[in-house]
């Protein structure tokens, strides 16, 4: 398995409607055939020094293998998501693990 964890910090002036549209855009990525499972989240209310709650959205996707990840990266749905929502990104950090 390969875990692809993406943390999105949206710009401070992002509206509620834009955040809703962004979440729907993230949800559309589940339709990519190589996605085995995924989770979309927002920061929890857990307050510990080691917990980062500064991001806006979290996306965790699991793929069977690196080949599945590579399909996802070049898939038209993923590319369309990036084209539509990239302008809202303040910062993005990705953690991939095997």
Separation CA 20–CA 67 (nearest Å): 31
Domain range list for the chain: 2-45+52-97
Separation CA 18–CA 34 (nearest Å): 27
Q: Are 4 and 63 in contact (CB under 8 A)?
A: yes
The predicted-structure confidence for 40-78, as pLDDT tens digits, reads as follows 999 999 989 999 999 999 999 999 999 999 999 999 999
* Per-residue pLDDT, 59: 98
What is the CATH architecture of 2-45+52-97?
Answer: 2-Layer Sandwich (3.30)
* Per-residue pLDDT, 25: 97
* Per-residue pLDDT, 7: 98
Assign 31 a pLDDT band (cuts: 50, 70, 90). very high
Separation CA 21–CA 15 (nearest Å): 10
- Tokens describing residue 51: 């917990």
Separation CA 23–CA 33 (nearest Å): 19
* Per-residue pLDDT, 54: 95
pTM for the model: 0.93
| Cα–Cα nearest to 41, from 59, 54, 24 | 59
Kindly list the distances between the CA atom of residue 11 and the CA atoms of 25, 53, 64, 77, 95, in Å, as whole numbers in the listed order.
Answer: 16, 15, 33, 23, 21
* Per-residue pLDDT, 35: 98
């Amino acid at each position: 398995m390969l875990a692809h964890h993406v943390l999105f910090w949206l710009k401070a002036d992002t509206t509620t409607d834009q955040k809703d549209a962004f979440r729907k855009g993230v949800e559309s990525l589940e339709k990519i055939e190589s996605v085995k499972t995924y989770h979309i989240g927002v920061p929890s209310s857990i307050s510990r020094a080691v917990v980062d709650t500064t991001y806006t959205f979290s996306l965790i996707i699991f793929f069977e293998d690196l080949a599945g990840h590579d399909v996802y990266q070049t898939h038209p749905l993923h590319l369309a998501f990036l084209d539509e929502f990239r302008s809202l990104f303040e910062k993005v950090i990705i953690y991939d693990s095997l």
